[in-house]
């Protein structure tokens, strides 16, 4: 199997989970943890746990958090030799608060350093990108850089829209995207179809396919997600799972979809494997489940 190139953000994650129902404008008892995250880095981490070779193209600063990133990637076997080091830059940070059930209630991100991931940077890395089996990008990248990747890649492009606001950076790029993994609001922004249930999700996914996307995996949260391609639509219910932390489930799902594609799985089987990876992840208190592996996903998908 060839390597996978992941182009996206890396963060220092500072997460807090309340021990009881959250009270606004008050101090809530709970637990606070610090770790490494970012959609791109999380997808790369999950891919490594699934046994894939990964090159991470991202931007890090010159602070001690950058050394944490490099050290962690080395331990996981994730290549960072092509990552951009920004002199004097601050590695991005993401702060989130979860309720007593583990559902995210609020988050703030400082990802200014991602502005350094310019089209010129990616042009210098084009051989690395096109030498991969496929490229995974998140929309933490500047709009101009996403457009550069869309127009210059000769390998499939998988995209995680990340958030409603950043989804707008994909405007006009849909014909260049092989696989897209939006939630309901992100799909609505890109398709123009309000997504409120399975039927509207099906209409939105069909509109995205008609716009040129090869595959769409549209999440409806706890209900499950809709998988669609040109000649097929599959509804994948969310598997039963004991929810401890929903943060990171989407990143695990995207990694499993990439892994399934490289295994030659069909749309339905890819959806099942993606759901299995997400279920394993939400049963962990960590954003990246240490229990995730190729064997664990295959067992869960039976």
* Closest listed residue to residue 110, CA positions, set 20, 183, 12: 12
pLDDT of residue 1: 56
- Cα 234 to Cα 232: distance, rounded to the nearest angstrom: 7
- Cα 10 to Cα 296: distance, rounded to the nearest angstrom: 26
- Cα 78 to Cα 237: distance, rounded to the nearest angstrom: 32
249-262 helix and 39-49 helix, angle to the nearest 10 degrees: 50
Residue pLDDT tens, the chain, 302 long: 589 999 999 998 888 999 999 999 999 999 998 889 899 999 999 999 999 999 999 999 999 999 999 999 999 999 999 999 999 999 998 888 999 988 889 988 888 999 999 999 999 999 999 999 999 999 999 999 999 999 999 999 999 999 999 999 999 999 999 999 999 999 999 999 999 999 999 999 999 999 999 999 999 988 999 999 999 999 999 888 888 878 789 999 999 999 999 999 999 999 999 999 999 999 998 889 999 999 999 999 98
DSSP state of 172: T
Supply the pTM of this predicted model. Answer: 0.91
- Which domains are seen in the chain, by residue range? 4-22+31-300 (3.40.1190.20)
CA 195 to chain centroid, in Å, comes to 20
**Inter-residue contact 49 to 79 (CB < 8 Å):** no
* Closest listed residue to residue 151, CA positions, set 128, 182, 174: 174
Contacts of 14 (CB under 8 A, 6+ apart): 32, 33, 34, 93, 94, 95, 96
Specify the 3-state DSSP secondary structure of 122. Answer: helix
* Helices vs. strands in the chain: H and E counts, helices first: 11, 15
């Amino acid at each position: 199997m060839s390597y996978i190139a992941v182009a996206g953000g890396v963060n220092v994650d500072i997460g807090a989970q309340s021990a009881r129902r959250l009270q606004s404008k008050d101090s809530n008892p709970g637990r606070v943890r610090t770790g490494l995250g970012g959609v791109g880095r999380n997808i790369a981490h999950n891919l490594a746990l699934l046994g894939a070779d990964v090159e991470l193209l991202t931007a890090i600063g010159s602070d001690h958090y950058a050394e944490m990133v490099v050290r962690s990637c080395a331990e996981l076997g994730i290549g960072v030799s092509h990552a951009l080091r920004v002199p004097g830059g601050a590695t991005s940070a993401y702060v989130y608060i979860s309720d007593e059930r583990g559902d995210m209630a609020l988050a703030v991100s400082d990802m200014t350093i991602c502005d350094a991931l310019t089209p010129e940077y990616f042009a210098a890395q084009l051989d690395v990108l096109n030498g991969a089996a496929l490229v995974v990008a998140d929309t933490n990248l500047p709009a101009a850089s996403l457009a550069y990747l869309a127009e210059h890649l000769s390998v499939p492009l998988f995209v995680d829209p990340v958030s409603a606001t950043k989804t707008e950076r994909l405007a006009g790029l849909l014909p260049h995207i092989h696989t897209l993994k939006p939630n309901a609001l992100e799909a609505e922004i890109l398709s123009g179809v309000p997504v409120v249930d399975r039927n509207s999700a099906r209409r939105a996914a069909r509109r995205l396919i008609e716009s040129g996307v090869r595959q769409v995996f549209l999440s409806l949260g706890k209900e499950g997600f809709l998988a669609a391609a040109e000649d097929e639509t599959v509804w994948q219910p969310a598997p039963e799972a004991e929810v401890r932390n929903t943060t990171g489930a989407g990143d695990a799902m995207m990694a499993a979809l990439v892994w399934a594609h490289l295994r030659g799985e069909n749309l339905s089987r890819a959806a099942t494997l993606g759901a299995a990876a997400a279920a394993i992840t939400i049963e962990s208190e960590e954003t990246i489940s240490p229990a995730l592996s190729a064997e664990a996903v295959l067992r869960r998908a039976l």
